[in-house]
Amino acid sequence: MSPKMLLIACCDSRVDPAIISDCDPGDLFVVRNVANLVAPYTPDDNHHGVSAALEYAVKTLAVSSIVIMGHTRCGGIEALMNGIVESKVTEFIGPWMRVAMKAKERVVRHFSDHPPAFQLRACEHASILLSLENLVTYPWIRDRVAAGSLSIHGWYFDFEEGEMLAWNADTHVFEPLVNRRDSVPGLGVGGDEGVE
Please state, in angstroms and rounded to a whole number, the distance separating the CA atoms of residues 39 and 25: 27
Question: What's residue 180's pLDDT?
Answer: 52
Please state, in angstroms and rounded to a whole number, the distance separating the CA atoms of residues 143 and 141: 5
Q: What is the DSSP string of 58-124?
A: IIIS--SEEEEEEETT-HHHHHHHTTTTT-SS-SSHHHHHGGGHHHHHHHHHHHTTS-HHHHHHHHH
Question: What's residue 176's pLDDT?
Answer: 93
Helix 101-111 and helix 116-135, axial crossing angle in degrees, nearest 10:
140
pLDDT digit of tens for each residue in the chain (196 aa)? 789 999 999 998 888 887 788 888 888 999 999 999 999 999 888 889 999 999 999 999 999 999 999 999 999 999 999 998 888 888 999 999 999 999 999 999 999 999 999 999 999 999 999 999 999 999 999 999 999 999 999 999 998 888 999 999 999 999 998 875 554 444 333 333 333 3
For 85-101, write each residue's pLDDT tens digit. Answer: 888 888 999 999 999 99
Question: What's residue 164's pLDDT?
Answer: 92
